[in-house]
Amino acid sequence: MLRSLFIALSQNRKLRSFSERSAVGRQLSGRFVAGMSVEDALGACERVNREGIAVSLDSLGESVREESEARASAEIYHRLLDAIAERGLKANVSVKLSQVGMDFDPALAERIVGEMVEHADQANSFVRIDMEGSPYTEATIAMTERLAARFPGRVGTVLQAYLFRTEGDAERLLGQGIRIRLCKGAYKEGPEIAFPAKVDVDANYVKLMKRLATFSKNGTGVFCGIATHDEVIVDQMREFVREHRVPKSAFEFQMLYGVRRDLQRRLAAEGYGVRVYIPFGPEWYPYFMRRLAERPANVLFLAKNFFKN
Return residues touching ligand FDA (CB under 6 A). Answer: 130-131, 158, 160, 181, 183-187, 227-230, 254-256, 259-260, 277, 291, 294-295, 298
13 is catalytic: no
* DSSP run (H or E) holding 302: helix 297-308
List C-alpha distances in Å: 40 to 44, 57, 159, 176, 185: 6, 11, 29, 36, 27
Residues 10/293, Cβ–Cβ less than 8 Å: yes
Task: Answer yes or no: is 290 a known binding residue.
Answer: yes
By residue count, the chain amounts to 309
CB of 245 to ligand FDA, least distance (A): 25
131 has binding-site annotation: yes
In angstroms, the CA 56 to CA 174 distance is: 21
Contact 123, 88 (CB under 8 A): no
220-257: b or e for each residue (b if 16 or more CB lie within 10 Å)? Answer: eebbbbbbbbbeebbebbeeebeeeebeeebbbbbbbb
* Given 16, 154, 179, 181, the catalytic residue: 181
* Residue 219: CB minimum distance to ligand FDA, A: 26
Interatomic CA distance for residues 259 and 32, integer angstroms: 8
Which residue lies nearer to ligand FDA by CB, 30 or 67?
A: 30
Is 217 known to sit in a ligand binding site?
no
Candidate list 130, 179, 202, 275, residue with the active-site label: 130
127: three-class secondary structure by DSSP: strand
| Closest to ligand FDA by CB, 154 or 181 | 181
Q: How far is CA 297 from CA 130, 193, 293, in A?
A: 25, 28, 9
Report the distance separating Cα 174 and Cα 120, nearest Å. 21
Give the single-character DSSP code of 97. G
Residue 64 or 161 having the CB closest to ligand FDA: 161
Residue 255 has φ and ψ, to the nearest 5°, of -140, 165
- 98 or 216: whose CB is closer to ligand FDA? 98
**Cβ–Cβ contacts within 10 Å for residue 84, how many?**
22
- 79 assigned binding-site residue: no
**What's the CA gap between 59 and 279, in Å, rounded?**
6
Residue closer to ligand FDA by CB (options 144, 216) is: 144
Question: Is position 181 annotated as part of the catalytic site?
Answer: yes
Is residue 128 marked as binding?
Answer: no
121 or 294: CB nearest ligand FDA: 294
Active site members: 130, 181
Annotated binding site for FAD: 131, 160, 184-186, 198, 228-229
Binding residues: 96, 131, 160, 184-186, 198, 228-229, 290-291
